[in-house]
Amino acid sequence: MPVQISFGILTVSDSSYAGKGNDSSSPKLKEEILKEFPSAEISAIKIVPDDLQEIKSTLTEWFDLKINVIFTTGNLPDMIFAMITSSLKIIPMAMISRPLSGIRDNTMIVNLPGSPEMVSECFGIIKEALPLALELLTEQKKSVVSGHGAILSDSGASVVPTTSLSKVKLAPLRKYYYPIIDVEFASDCIKDVCSDKEETTETVPLKRSLNRILVEDFRAEESIPSFATSIIDGYAVKSSNGKGIRVVKNVATAENKPIDEVLQSGEAIRISMGDPIPAGADAVVPLEDTSVVEYSIDGSEVIKVKIKRAPNYNENIRIIGSDVSKNSLVLKKGERIKHFSLGVLAMLGKTNILVYKRPSIGIISIGNYICEPKEELAPGKIRDANRFTLINLLKNFHYEANDCGIAKDNPDAIKHALEQSFTCNDVIITNSLMGELDMLNGSSSKIFKLLYIFAG
């Protein structure tokens, strides 16, 4: 450990920088430092606003001064430190690998909260780890293990090593088969592999085409409706006759069969909603706009009616092609078939739909510690939840997802599971360990010449 340690204290506070508040945390921190390290040198103390560029500029300047430890205060919420310090009370040495500290060259940066009380409490916890941290820095050790099990401490044990660090043989770094790559690069890899793959299509029944992707445009081969119909119950008339008395010529049937005779001037035909408009008629008068003038002798039929209001041309008529006109584009190639699209296709009389074949995705869980949800839990076992989550997540995005079961964590079992899965799937997703016990990489590289593996 160096004979003299140099410290810098950087307070980040808009109010203190503007002179609207008192900086009480840096004096408290200075007091704590000199109490613990009497021979220490406080090389720099400064207050800056909460501005990233200003903070960065000050830190860079202090790095050049070769200050051993820089404390920053006030730039992180106290709640974060409350959680972190509670764990550091159990293992103080873990502060070296925790996010509240960092290293630049031979300078350690430690972030502390803004209140004097929290500054004092946090410094009291980490002060015992500073000698080891500084020894690592000043002796310029280039191989420092970070991660799980990097630093352990028994409660009550001395945190200062009794053996010189130069005599300690560091364990070999853990080897990971999978390099860290970003999502964009992974997507490009997948696209490169899949770009040469010919798109396959299949014909599926209309009832099973929901959420599938159309291979071709759909155009209407006929107008819908293909004939003019009434949208109300009333009397079909000629709009040019205006209002007045009409002779009821006939009654349209409920079978949607057009009346053979042509409507003449001065006539009306009783019609129901959805009935075809008789030839010669160009308007429908609602019943409430009419009154009966004459009944048949037995009173069973209306002979004459009075039209109280002059109708407009095409009034209350659903004209030909009002829903879909002939040759119009109804659904586009590449469009996903939604529930309303099914109705349109049914209306057009399409019963078999040409769609792109969906990729089949198999999900395999790998591990000796995994069991099926239906099984009783044995010691060291957990039920497989990830597999079912992934399967249904894929189904939610309209993929064909297949359950390929659980494979034991040994090369032969993994090989068998992969070979079986590749016979009926285009893509395989595995759910397994990716640490030192990960057997998938070695097994797959021996079985398959080309295989992309993305671990996450």
What CATH number should be reported for the domain holding residue 94? 3.40.980.10
Clarify whether residues 110 and 179 are in a common domain: no
Clarify whether residues 100 and 237 are in a common domain: no
pLDDT means over runs of 10, the chain (456 residues): 76 84 86 88 90 87 89 62 46 43 77 80 80 67 40 37 41 54 78 73 94 93 91 95 91 62 91 92 95 90 93 95 91 93 90 93 92 90 92 92 92 89 90 58 50 48
Clarify whether residues 268 and 311 are in a common domain: yes
What six digits make up the tokens of 96? Answer: 């070296």
Residue at a domain's end among 122, 146, 167? 167
What's the pTM? Answer: 0.49
Interior angle at CA 133, CA 11 and CA 109, nearest 5: 20
The per-residue pLDDT for 140 is 42
* 289 HSE (CA, 13 A, CB side): 21
Kindly write down the DSSP assignment for every residue of 165-228, as one continuous string.
Answer: GGGPPPPPPPP-SS----HHHHHHHHHHHHTTSPP-EEEEEGGG-TT-BBSS-EE-SS-BSSS-
Please state, in angstroms and rounded to a whole number, the distance separating the CA atoms of residues 394 and 420: 20
Residue at a domain's end among 146, 167, 188? 167
The per-residue pLDDT for 45 is 92
Clarify whether residues 247 and 374 are in a common domain: no
Q: Give the domain extent around 346.
A: 201-220+327-355
Clarify whether residues 254 and 277 are in a common domain: yes
The per-residue pLDDT for 239 is 95
**Distance of alpha carbon 374 from its chain centroid, rounded?**
29
Pick from 231, 319, 312, 307: nearest CA to 273:
231
Question: CA torsion 341→342→346→348, rounded to 10°?
Answer: 20
The per-residue pLDDT for 308 is 95
Look at the chain and report how many structural domains it folds into: 4
Clarify whether residues 79 and 159 are in a common domain: yes
Please state, in angstroms and rounded to a whole number, the distance separating the CA atoms of residues 154 and 199: 61
Clarify whether residues 278 and 311 are in a common domain: yes
Name residue, tokens 């990971």: 176
The per-residue pLDDT for 145 is 39
Clarify whether residues 348 and 361 are in a common domain: no
Asked if residue 1 belongs to a domain, the reply is: no
Clarify whether residues 144 and 23 are in a common domain: yes
Task: Say if residues 281 and 311 touch (Cβ distance below 8 Å).
Answer: no
CA-based max dimension of the chain: 127
Residue at a domain's end among 167, 192, 210? 167
Clarify whether residues 216 and 141 are in a common domain: no
Asked if residue 252 belongs to a domain, the reply is: yes
The per-residue pLDDT for 196 is 63
Task: Say if residues 246 and 291 touch (Cβ distance below 8 Å).
Answer: no
Please state, in angstroms and rounded to a whole number, the distance separating the CA atoms of residues 390 and 387: 5
Clarify whether residues 349 and 235 are in a common domain: no
Asked if residue 49 belongs to a domain, the reply is: yes
Clarify whether residues 153 and 14 are in a common domain: yes
- The CATH number of residue 271's host domain is 2.170.190.11
Asked if residue 233 belongs to a domain, the reply is: yes
Name residue, tokens 């009380």: 117
